[in-house]
Structure 1
Amino acid sequence: MRKKFLLIISIVVLFALPLSGCKQNKKQNVYQAVKTSKTINWGVKADTPLFGSINIKTGKLNGFEIDLANALTHEMLGKNAKANFITTTANTKIQLLKNTNVDAVIAAMTITPERKKQVEFSHPYFPAGQSIMVADSSAIKNAKNLNNKKVLVVKGTTAADAIHQVAPKAEILQFDDYGQAFAALKAGQGDAFVTDNGILAGILRDSSGYKLVGGTFTNQPYGIAVNKGQNDMLKHINTALAKLEKNGTYNHLVKKWFGNIPGMNIKELEKKYRVEGV
């Protein structure tokens, strides 16, 4: 009986040790860890053209956020440092941070009060917001012109609410995804397609006969997320962002990825954005 008891105690101790190690790992100073390893594990998108997507020819990730993550890594840790990319989705990016699978997330992540309860955000690095896509021949110039028009949106987004605030007489038609909504616009089922300006820019890059109008009529900037308590990492990310803006790297990347997109306001994108309380 005593031998069985000792065996059970031994098993409990063996399982407890790894769990204890995981807790310590989650509490470690992430910046000190990446400084030692010379590697930052970034959570990024792989399905969002212009921001982060797979290049069909090379099979590699590319996009504005991929380039920005590389630049931030080198600015923070030196030219020989490595940016390691781990793909994420809207449903997994916070969990990846919580599980310490990534050191930071740069994945078209809107800064919201709810998310700020779970993670810490850097200063904004992209002035995202709702924008409008129309056919080249359309007379629609801004959000107020959407009154008495059929407007296409995607279910589960904030687009419908945003439209109702500026154009309460607009007729909203909802679709399951961006591809369906854009297909409906091409088929003449609606007068305009409204969603995040960056997503529309990605669609527009591969499509002719359409344009973005009216700039952004909501303010929903993107920020880089780190785990709660990782203030050291956050401070160095913000410092690196400021340096990249000052030395022209940020503006160069903006022009590279968004400079040829009709309707994208490059001067607006190049401004230095800050959100109070971030």
Structure 2
Amino acid sequence: MVAATAGCSSTKSSGKGNGDVELVSSGKLKTCTHLPYEPFQFKKGQKVVGFDVDLVDLVAKELKVKQEIVDTPFEGIESGEDFNINKCDLAAAGMTITPERKKKFDFSDPYFDATQALITKKGKDFKKLSDLKGKKLGVQQATTGEAYAKKNAKGLEVVQFEDLGLLLTAVKNGQVAAGINDNGVLLDYIKKNEDTEVTAEFDTGEHYGIGVRKDNDALLKVINKAIKDAKSSGEYDKIYKKWFGKAPEESGQ
């Protein structure tokens, strides 16, 4: 599904106290993600910005390199294939840590709490999935939202979309009666799209992590240090407030 990036070679960056961290391209920390997933990662003009982008910039700073974003289908990230072909060093894509994914690649310590939520056009009285019986529910493929819908959505048609943007457009134009995805992105979306609303949240207890190739312990150590230091210094809260308009209730999120 995804093609190898030509010319990838393993290089080393030995930032102070970081040991030898292998990078796929010299002087760059390549981050696989799938756009758009606002406010975690999305294009603003020609630049990719967002919460995850700012967090990974701290990792790049530790390594004394620059972050480079690689926009790629989420299936390649979620399957671990992007790591296998050296397409990127890490994946930061608002990605939930799951046992199935941990079999394919390793995760950093959790850096964000999430849960699934239901988005509809304003005025629709859909408070739970059973309210959608006989209707269409949109999901983003290869996500935990899709997995939740398949397990819990009885008597309705689940419609799969390649990315979040297509899913949200389908909700707005009535192609589907509702959509399910992570609460962070949906709550951000309705702020700018007042004809939509989040009508329900489902307590799935999810945690986001940054993905790395299996046994890439040196890079994982740097990522975990960057997350821990950001939380201790208040930098995490600053980045959180920048993208969500308020500080997290607990800095140890």
TM superposition score normalised by structure 1:
0.67
Which amino acid in the other structure matches residue 162 of structure 1? Y
Gap regions ≥5 residues in structure 2: 1-8
Counterpart secondary structure, 2:114: coil
Matches within 5 A, 1:80-95: 81-89=64-72, 90-93=74-77, 94-95=80-81
Q: Please say if residues 131 and 194 of structure 1, whose CA atoms lie closer than 8 Å, have aligned partners that are also in contact.
A: yes
CA RMSD of aligned residues (A): 3.7
TM superposition score normalised by structure 2:
0.72
> How many residues were matched structurally?
236
Counterpart secondary structure, 2:204: coil
Report the Cα offset of residue 105 of structure 1: 2.2
Which amino acid in the other structure matches residue 65 of structure 1? D
Q: Please say if residues 241 and 248 of structure 2, whose CA atoms lie closer than 8 Å, have aligned partners that are also in contact.
A: no
CA distance in 2: counterparts of 1:254 and 1:191, whole angstroms: 31
Of 50, 59, 70, 1:63 maps to 50
- Aligned counterpart, 2:186: 200
Q: Does 1:272 align with 2:249?
A: no
Structure of greater Rg:
1
Report the Cα offset of residue 122 of structure 1: 0.5
Matches within 5 A, 1:7-86: 25=10, 31-34=18-21, 39=27, 41-45=29-33, 47-48=35-36, 49-56=38-45, 59-74=46-61, 76-77=62-63, 81-86=64-69
Report the Cα offset of residue 153 of structure 1: 1.6
Report the Cα offset of residue 87 of structure 1: 0.7
- Aligned counterpart, 2:159: 174
Report the Cα offset of residue 140 of structure 1: 4.2
Matches within 5 A, 1:203-214: 203-204=189-190, 206-214=192-200
Which amino acid in the other structure matches residue 171 of structure 1? L
Q: Please say if residues 109 and 223 of structure 1, whose CA atoms lie closer than 8 Å, have aligned partners that are also in contact.
A: yes
Matches within 5 A, 1:173-252: 173-177=158-162, 178-188=164-174, 191-201=177-187, 203-204=189-190, 206-252=192-238
| Residue identity (%) | 28
Report the Cα offset of residue 85 of structure 1: 1.0
- CA 1:216–1:72 in structure 2 vs 1: closer, same or farther (change >3 Å)? farther
Query: Greater helix share, 1 or 2?
Result: 1
Matches within 5 A, 1:103-118: 103-118=89-104
Report the Cα offset of residue 184 of structure 1: 4.1
Counterpart secondary structure, 2:205: coil
- Aligned counterpart, 2:6: none
Q: Please say if residues 125 and 221 of structure 1, whose CA atoms lie closer than 8 Å, have aligned partners that are also in contact.
A: yes
CA distance in 2: counterparts of 1:188 and 1:258, whole angstroms: 27
CA distance in 1: counterparts of 2:75 and 2:176, whole angstroms: 30
Moved more, 61-70 or 249-258: 249-258
- CA 1:232–1:186 in structure 2 vs 1: closer, same or farther (change >3 Å)? closer
Report the Cα offset of residue 123 of structure 1: 0.8
CA distance in 2: counterparts of 1:155 and 1:247, whole angstroms: 35
Report the Cα offset of residue 62 of structure 1: 0.8
CA distance in 2: counterparts of 1:29 and 1:228, whole angstroms: 20
- CA 1:155–1:84 in structure 2 vs 1: closer, same or farther (change >3 Å)? closer
Counterpart secondary structure, 2:93: coil
Counterpart secondary structure, 2:197: strand
Q: Deviations over 1:32-53 (max 9, x none)?
A: 3459999551314361232222
CA distance in 1: counterparts of 2:97 and 2:114, whole angstroms: 10
Q: Deviations over 1:91-122 (max 9, x none)?
A: 44434433445332222333222322232111
Q: Deviations over 1:46-104 (max 9, x none)?
A: 61232222222xx1121111111112333x34xxx333213142244434433445332
Counterpart secondary structure, 1:220: strand
Gap regions ≥5 residues in structure 1: 1-21, 261-265, 274-278
